[in-house]
Amino acid sequence: MKPETPDHSRSPESNDPASTPKHEATERGWHAKTPGADNAARTAADRVGQWFAPLLQRLMQWLSPLLQRVQNAPAVRRLRERVAPHVPESVKRAPRLRSVQVGAGIAAVGVVGLIIGGVAGGNDEHDVEEAAVAAPMQQAAAPQPAAPQAVEQKKADPPQTRAETKSEAETKSEEPKQDAPVGPPIEGIDVSNHNGSIDWKKVAADNKKFTFVLASDGTDFSNPKYSEQYHGAKDAGLIAGAYHFARPDDSDGATQANRFLDIIDYKNDGKTLPPVLDLEVDPNGGSCYGKSVDQMHQWTKSFNDTVKQRTGKDPIIYANPSFWKQCMGSTDTFKDHDLWLAAYEVDSPTVPKGFQDWDFWQYTDKGKVAGISGNTDINQYKEGFERLKQLAS
């Protein structure tokens, strides 16, 4: 409904014979020429009026108590007092045709229906008063019944907007993190106490982007050079990580993991790679530390779970194909961990069964790098520097 559009009740001048004498004369002339048609029309109108008048009278009698209550309401009186001064005198005195009066009666019933609906919907006297105050008053302009609905709509909008905003926020938070672009492979190194003091600025200038530093070995050994090497590398701009050499025959996985984590000073600062579990055969006998495959699985899981609990990161697993087959039974239990694969003097390493691919590849233990005296291990990260930074975040 568009209340701004004039209807019969809003523009009585267009149907007022007193205001249009020319039309009145024309109509009189036409009636004088066609008395039969005029009498027939009047007879039909009288019949309609005789049928409709009792119905309208009963309807008005039924609505009279409610109309009286509405008219006596303080808010309605105040609204009437605000509107009355702005209604032109010509509108107040203008006569109505019977058809216009009937139309006005029907319109009044419709307005009363809107008021009843508003009351049933929970609108109280305060809402009516608020709508009356908010309605703009213009000279010779009729009041607009749609104003209370507009106010109600305005009140209803903000909660919906907040809900939509919350929904958008939840949707954004649930979106998966986008992977960084894959770039060309980059190189890094890994060092231990055997490498001594290192000039990390020269290492960085030699285009090495990352390093792994030995922190602990088994239950008893800690790298005395760890802090110097690890923090020196980060200070020079390299991305650094720490690794633990596992000795499953010394103590359980959780014990060694906690000791390792107490040493490494792990921080999720965007420059630190996930902790590394270095799994190799027993240096003293080449065996699996006297453990069965299932026992090795349990030991490894205990270590990894402890690291995940304390850092929120899954450890990187260092291994070679022969160890993974011999001691781990080619399990795929740890397939979601990043794999640091050791394989020397080959053009392309063989990925152990149980992993889809390698992430880091230690391809030599006889590398020459500026800033390090003697040989050192050199590694390659397959997916480029941007992915490496993402792994460290």
H helix intervals, 86-215:
89-93, 98-120, 125-134, 147-174, 200-205
What is the percent of the chain with per-residue pLDDT over 90, rounded to a whole number?
53
Q: What is the reported pLDDT for 187? A: 98
Average pLDDT on 182-187 reads: 96
Per DSSP, 272 falls in state: B
Strand partners, 131: none
Q: What is the reported pLDDT for 298? A: 98
How far apart (Å, rounded) are the C-alpha atoms in residues 87 and 16?
17
Residue 158 pLDDT level (bands cut at 50, 70, 90): very low
Q: How many CB atoms lie within 10 A of CB 258?
A: 15
Q: Is the per-residue pLDDT at 336 higher than 70?
A: yes
Q: Radius of gyration (Cα) for the chain, nearest Å?
A: 45
Residue 115 pLDDT level (bands cut at 50, 70, 90): very low
- Give 310 or 54, the one with higher predicted confidence: 310
- Give 121 or 390, the one with higher predicted confidence: 390
The full length of the chain comes to 393
Average pLDDT on 137-160 reads: 44
From 71-80, 91-100, 181-190, the region with the lowest mean pLDDT: 91-100
Q: What is the reported pLDDT for 160? A: 45
Regarding beta strands 210-217 and 221-222, do their DSSP bridges make them parallel or antiparallel, or are they unpaired? antiparallel
For every residue of 33-96, DSSP letters joined together read: H-HHHHHHHHHHHHHHHHHHHHHHHHHHHHHHHHHHHHHHSHHHHHHHHHHGGGS-HHHHH---
Nearest CA among 109, 96, 142, 158 for reference residue 2: 142
Active site amino acids: 190, 278, 280
Q: Are 193 and 214 in contact (CB under 8 A)?
A: yes
For residue 356, report the phi and psi dihedrals to the nearest 5 degrees: -80, -35
